Amino acid sequence: MKILVLNSGSSSIKYKLFDILPDKESLLDKGLVERIGEKIPGHKEALAIILDKIVSGVDAVGHRVVHGGNRFKESVLIDGEVIKAIENFSELAPLHNPPALLTINESMAMLSGIPHVAVFDTAFFQTIPEYAYMYAIPYDLYERYKIRRYGFHGTSHRYIAHQAALVLKKPIDKIKVITCHLGNGCSIAAVEKGKAIDTSMGFTPLEGLVMGTRSGDIDPAVIPYIMEKKNIDANSVIGLLNKESGLLGLSGISNDMREIIKEKGRNKRAALAFDLFAYRLKKYIGAYAGVMGGVDAVIFTGGIGENQPDLMKDICKGVVSAKTKIFSIPTDEELMIARDTKIIVNKD
């Protein structure tokens, strides 16, 4: 079955074309159309470029959708009602759900007559228990405004957990793993028997680990304090915490871990950024190993996770048992989306 996977941002669409057979998965083509809104007028035109390049017929399309709120616990076949629900959750992911919807609507018109499937970043975390996804704030804020922890990067964590089971040569429902997605954005998940039981990102991707430009965990009282001191509004502070913080904000040099590692021997703030990143990660790994009562493996992925094996072993030292396996696996969210698409299409 030939499956086209589309991953849409506000100014770009990434695609991969797979042939998913029962005994073989092959990547037939991949690419990126950028500068939508500048060189390319809109998502419709970007999509036309992609479809022009794909010569072979497509049997189904899988769409990455960031926010499925508390409704989508797994991937679904897209119909009018699903589109409405994704629209509803746009409020919770204003930068991500609207471009995905544009691409869904356009591609359903251009590739009508074949099934389209939505795969949500948040879905994998819908198994997290209430005591882990709730914030300890007045309950009606959850009931009225859906304020809770959702988690992101779910498709990546799910893929990594499944690949880890293959590496460990054990059924996924017999293992406990910690998956660490460390790229520009960073998140960590505790996965028991194939189900997520906790993750570090929250209501938005800002919570949790230190990232390239995001602060991760912070006392919320800092926000009005910065507003007052700098005479800026709440949105500007959130912008500062998302885009000017993390490795970049601490070091004043770069959001790129390669630069931080290069400079940390001679620059105090680069060393601080590195240490804080590693310390926060260590704390989360320790916490998740603790709540699961031991862990079979800690797996790393993303640009940082895949390229710094010694650092990752160092971070795990002393917080997990000597029997815990530590290794990295390259993530492939698009392959996971293609696999889900095939399962949904076959089911329906």
Tell me whether strands 13-21 and 24-33 are parallel, antiparallel or unpaired. antiparallel
Query: Is 108 among the residues that bind ligand ADP (CB under 6 A)?
Result: no
Q: Is 183 in the site for ligand ADP (CB under 6 A)?
A: yes
Handedness of CA 309, 312, 317, 323 (dihedral sign): negative
* Nearest residue to 299 via CA among 155, 159, 166, 179: 179
Nearest-approach distance from CB 181 to ligand ADP, in angstroms: 8
Residue 59 among the catalytic residues:
no
Q: Give how many residues touch ligand ADP by CB under 6 A.
A: 12
Cβ atoms 344, 117 nearer than 8 A: yes
Segment interacting with ligand ADP, rule: CB under 6 A, options 32-40, 90-98, 164-172, 303-311: 303-311
User: Looking only at residues 219 through 248 of this chain, which bind ligand ADP when binding is defined by CB under 6 A?
Assistant: none
Minimum distance, C-beta of residue 227 to ligand ADP, in the bound complex (Å): 29
Q: Which two tokens stand for residue 195?
A: 């189900």
Q: Which is nearer to ligand ADP, 98 or 303 (CB)?
A: 303
Give Cα 67 distance to the centre of its chain.
11
- Evaluated on CA atoms 104, 159, 302, 92, the torsion sign reads positive
Chain position carrying tokens 């005994």: 23
Of positions 212, 216, 246, 249, contacts ligand ADP by CB under 6 A: 212
Using CB under 6 A, which of 256, 269, 278, 286 touches ligand ADP?
256
Nearer to ligand ADP, 62 or 212 (CB): 212
Out of 170, 258, 313, 317, the only residue in the binding site for ligand ADP (CB under 6 A) is 258
Task: Find the binder of ligand ADP among 97, 199, 213, 308 (CB under 6 A).
Answer: 308
Q: What sign has the CA pseudo-torsion 279, 326, 201, 152? A: positive
Q: Which of 10, 70, 90, 307 binds ligand ADP (CB under 6 A)?
A: 307
Selected catalytic residue, list 23, 59, 79, 121: 121
**Residue 213 makes contact with ligand ADP by CB under 6 A:** no
- Is residue 154 near ligand ADP by the rule CB under 6 A? no
Q: Which residue of the chain is nearest ligand ADP when measured via CB? A: 303
| Distances from the Cα of 197 to the Cα of 42, 136, 171, 179, 327, angstroms | 39, 18, 18, 12, 21
Site for ligand ADP in 274-293 (CB under 6 A): none
Q: What tokens does 342 get?
A: 């095939």
Burial (CB < 10 A; 0-12, 13-18, 19+), residue 234, is exposed
Q: Would you tell me which residues interact with ligand ADP (CB under 6 A)?
A: 183-185, 212, 256-258, 302-304, 307-308
Q: Which residues are catalytic?
A: 121
